[in-house]
Structure 1
Amino acid sequence: MRLLPVLALAAGLVTAPVAQADSGHTVRFATFNASLNRNAPGQLVADLSTPDNPQAREVAEVIQRNRPDVLLINEFDFAPQAVDLFRDNYLERGQNGARPVDYPYAFIAPSNTGVLTGFDLDRNGSTNTGNDAHGFGLFEGQFGMLVLSKYPIDARNARTFQHFLWKDMPNAMLPDDPATAAPKDWYSPEILNVLRLSSKSHWDVPVKIGRKTLHFLVSHPTPPTFDGPEDRNGTRNNDEIRFWADYVTPGKGRYIYDDKGRRGGLSPSATFVVAGDNNSDPLDGDSVPGAIDRLLDAPRVIDPHPGSYGGVLAAREQGGANATHEGDPFFDTADFNDNAPGNLRVDYVLPSKGLIPVRAAVYWPTDELSRLNDASDHHLVRVDVFVSGR
């Protein structure tokens, strides 16, 4: 049996067979920006309604060849019907010799993308474009998120932060209007009274692994580009990343409230894995300097430094901006435009202290499976962690 908790629907918990942890075992966590977004509402459902969509088949094969136990998919439009279609028609059918993979549990919830604010956020004279939404999108839910799991998801205790207001973050890095001397004045007080922090959403998804609960903390901060000198996307990207750093650091998350009104961050005794496309490289690219370091350097976070030889070869062969990068291409996770910004490390799987990283990798094949590198401009990132049964 499957569980598909959708926040907009009152779905309950369903049990399904799952391996039990006694003394403990290794669990594979992964994130994959799979580019399963579409340009119109209903299109993803249509594409997944048959088992022969080429891109969806490639995405499914990447997942089957990596076989994560708990997976975040970024850029999966908010279409609950599409979840079962993707599982039935793609993941549970072997792709090009890869073994089928079964995820009995799923979590999907609404996204801020495409939800119009009623204001002209980019000052282009219109209030009804994707740039005027709480998160860029041509329709509500475009570029959403999906969590798939082989282990039970405690949907009743999941926390979502879709409606958290940006201005409610203490010392928020709000953008400045470069035409004035006033600080943080790109957005009017009226806009800030409605503008949400999350460009998609932030979710705390509890996963039951044996007798333990592990919190899967997932998000997809906005790219720090596609704006102007006010850097409204760069500053927001910084604070979307900071949200999780504050949430998992004792004493820093008191200001946070979720969509049910519950306040506070994560319990200091809880274990977690932060995952997602954070659109921020530690050394290169266009994000605010130090943005991702807020999370990487948080006292309870472990960076297992996943990497690939494929990233090294790609940077060497493609050249362009890659030749000027400070970061080691071994850690790159995304293959972007060669001229700018080049390949970057933007996708992360970060376990907490209390978990033991066993191995970590970026899936960037260089053999006959390199054809799968075209599935998305991002690569799946995976980290195996040992979860104690006690």
Structure 2
Amino acid sequence: MLRDLGRDDAQIDATVAIVAQVDPDILLLTDVDYDLDGVALQATADRMGFAHSFALLPNSGMATGLDLDGNGRIGEARDAQGWGKFSGDGGMGLLSHWPIDADAVQDLSTLLWRDVPGATLPQGPLWSDAVAAVQRLSTTGHWIVPVLAPGGPVDIMAFSATPPVFDGPEDRNGLRNRDELRLWTQVLEGAFGVAPQDFVVLGNANLDPADGEGLHDAMQAFLADPRLTDPRPASPGGKAAADPDQSGDPALDTADWPDGAPGNLRVDYALPAATWTVTGAGVFWPDPADPDAALAQTAGPHRLVWVDLRR
């Protein structure tokens, strides 16, 4: 990634161009690799014009020492805390025009899945006491990061959950995906001694409230939480790319995947606390006739979701 940031790369160039158009003050990137000194992330921040960057070692790629997928081998991508071929594979990075209070960050990424209040753990031959004793809830991470905005701190609640697929009848990934989302509900209820103020939940929940795989009722309940505001960011491109027999509003979709596998879905979210006033929201997914439509396609299947807020 660091190499590609220093030369012409179509996907990086498109992503940089989209960020320049939307011009956010705070930006969460998902599926970016972590390095100990933050060199690659800071290079990304420099390329995109951000003064500040923050990342922690993600759970993705972190070895468990166990054969989680039961294939008789350990140390493979599916045996890590979160899918990953190496430690730091597919992490998160927060970029900001304003300072980040790294000393005040609250990191919930080490929390064991079994220790989440009300957790529903999978049942089956691949789940055991030994697995439960090491398996963290967070596929990538759950961070509460204070950004020192001019009007006061903004608590960014960042996460990137597992896709609720690629498992068996035990629905391990589906249950984990739901509990990764439920963790934020527990936080808002005061669990773990965490009390975010003027927060914004940012990240890839990998869960649509109506379509695709996963336990939709979890996302429906989360979006209906009175402590949150759902700005319902929309786009003309999503509406134009509606899948046949889609249940949800296609204008709200944030990822462009092949029809039915899994199809276009709303999986990326920017959900502010109810204490904020929303002045604008959208998804960067231009209409197919728009010259910028090619940018969105080249940048990858996920679309940038944005929300404008004031106190």
TM-score (norm 1): 0.76
Q: Measure the CA separation in 1 of the matches of 2:42 and 2:93.
A: 12
Deviation at 1:62, TM superposition (A): 0.9
In structure 2, stretches of 5+ residues that fail to align are none
Out of 136, 141, 146, which is 1:196 matched to?
Answer: 136
Runs of 4+ with >4 A deviation: none
- One-letter amino acid of the structure 2 residue matched with residue 124 of structure 1: N
Name whichever of 75-84 and 325-334 sits farther off.
Answer: 75-84
Out of 37, 62, 69, which is 1:115 matched to?
Answer: 62
What does residue 278 of structure 2 align with? 357
**What SS is found at the alignment partner of 2:241?**
helix
What does residue 377 of structure 1 align with? 301
Q: Percent identity?
A: 41
Encode CA deviations 1:183-241: one digit per residue, 9 max, x unaligned. Answer: xx742111111110000011101011224111010000000011111111111000001
Encode CA deviations 1:274-328: one digit per residue, 9 max, x unaligned. Answer: 010100000011111312124212231110100011101112xxxxxx2122101
What does residue 22 of structure 1 align with? none
Number of positions where the alignment pairs a residue of Structure 1 with one of Structure 2: 306
- One-letter amino acid of the structure 1 residue matched with residue 117 of structure 2: P
Question: Contact conserved, 2:185 with 2:222, CA < 8 A, in 1?
Answer: yes
Deviation at 1:353, TM superposition (A): 1.3
Deviation at 1:129, TM superposition (A): 1.2
Out of 25, 33, 37, which is 1:77 matched to?
Answer: 33
- One-letter amino acid of the structure 1 residue matched with residue 291 of structure 2: E
- One-letter amino acid of the structure 2 residue matched with residue 160 of structure 1: D
Q: Measure the CA separation in 1 of the matches of 2:257 and 2:33.
A: 22
Aligned runs of 1:271-350 on 2, under 5 Å? 271-315=198-242, 322-350=243-271
What does residue 68 of structure 1 align with? 24
- One-letter amino acid of the structure 1 residue matched with residue 141 of structure 2: S
- One-letter amino acid of the structure 2 residue matched with residue 131 of structure 1: R
What does residue 4 of structure 2 align with? 47
Question: Contact conserved, 1:334 with 1:345, CA < 8 A, in 2?
Answer: yes
- One-letter amino acid of the structure 1 residue matched with residue 169 of structure 2: P
Structure with max Cα Rg: 1
State yes or no: 1:141 paired with 2:81: no
What does residue 156 of structure 1 align with? 103
- One-letter amino acid of the structure 1 residue matched with residue 74 of structure 2: T
Question: Contact conserved, 1:242 with 1:294, CA < 8 A, in 2?
Answer: no
Question: Contact conserved, 1:246 with 1:265, CA < 8 A, in 2?
Answer: no
What does residue 214 of structure 1 align with? 154
Q: Measure the CA separation in 2 of the matches of 1:243 and 1:294.
A: 13
RMSD of the TM alignment (CA)? 1.4
Name whichever of 160-169 and 292-301 sits farther off.
Answer: 292-301
Question: Contact conserved, 1:245 with 1:294, CA < 8 A, in 2?
Answer: no
Encode CA deviations 1:16-65: one digit per residue, 9 max, x unaligned. Answer: xxxxxxxxxxxxxxxxxxxxxxxxxxxx22222x1312211111111111
Taking CA–CA contacts closer than 8 Å with sequence separation of 6 or more, which of the two structures ends up with the larger relative contact order?
Answer: 1
TM-score (norm 2): 0.95
**What SS is found at the alignment partner of 1:203?**
strand
Question: Contact conserved, 2:198 with 2:275, CA < 8 A, in 1?
Answer: yes
- One-letter amino acid of the structure 2 residue matched with residue 158 of structure 1: V
Q: Measure the CA separation in 1 of the matches of 2:134 and 2:12.
A: 36
**What SS is found at the alignment partner of 1:291?**
helix
Question: Contact conserved, 2:45 with 2:53, CA < 8 A, in 1?
Answer: no
